[in-house]
Amino acid sequence: MKHPSNRELFAYWNDRRGHAKAPERCDFEPSAVRELLGDIFVLSCDADSGFPFRMAGTRLCALLGGDVKDKSFPAQFTPASRREIEEIAMVVSEETLPAIAGVTALAPDHTTAHFELLLLPFATRAHEPISLTGLLAPFEPPKGALGPLEMVSWRYIHPPAEPIVPRTLRKLALARGLMVYEGLR
């Protein structure tokens, strides 16, 4: 990761996940990354609906030309990059693997603006919609709304070699006080 904002968000995400593959959405506290909120977004992992934005920060909305809530994330990319970003978002959500990407876009002054895109999964829970979070960090803040985004490079960030402790064991490690075990009489 090259951008300090992405390194900060990844470090917080990594800390919140502990020994799990990804943190649960309820463990992610927005106030802990308050200064990054303008660039952060949350996507619904619904490929049929085009991975719609559930939430997007104000700076990101300004870069994309307005409020993007419920709009398709891949639709913000050039036609040549849409299939690629859809596949990356699917792998991030299904395989619980973070991804980092280099992205460019045409700025209003006809120069090329460079960005770093970070996609981070949340742990899945039964009966809850699957979602992921991310941050689009500009290397030089462009003035005005951008043209469509274009993928330049990407890679997955592989999990650490340490074993991942199952969720039930993590919860037992946190349990304190009296525990009742059901048994036979």
Q: Is there a domain that residue 10 lies in?
A: yes
What pLDDT score does 168 carry? 55
pLDDT at residue 28 tops 60: yes
Provide the domain count of the chain.
1
Chain segment 124-134, per-residue pLDDT in tens: 876 677 899 99
Q: Is there a domain that residue 81 lies in?
A: yes
69 found inside a domain: yes
pLDDT at 132: 94
pTM above 0.75, yes or no: yes
Q: What CATH number does residue 117 fall under?
A: 3.30.450.20
Non-local CB neighbours of 104 within 8 Å, separated by 6+ positions: 112, 113, 114, 115, 149, 150, 152
Is 124 a domain residue? yes
pLDDT for 141-179, tens place per residue? 888 889 999 999 999 998 655 555 555 555 555 555 666
Asked, for residue 184, whether it belongs to a domain, the answer is: no
What is the domain range of residue 141?
4-174
**Residue 182 domain-assigned?**
no
CA–CA distance, 180 with 37 (Å, rounded to integer) = 42
90 located within any domain: yes
Q: Is residue 179 part of a domain?
A: no
pLDDT at 62: 93
The answer to whether the beta carbons of residues 104 and 112 sit under 8 Å apart is: yes
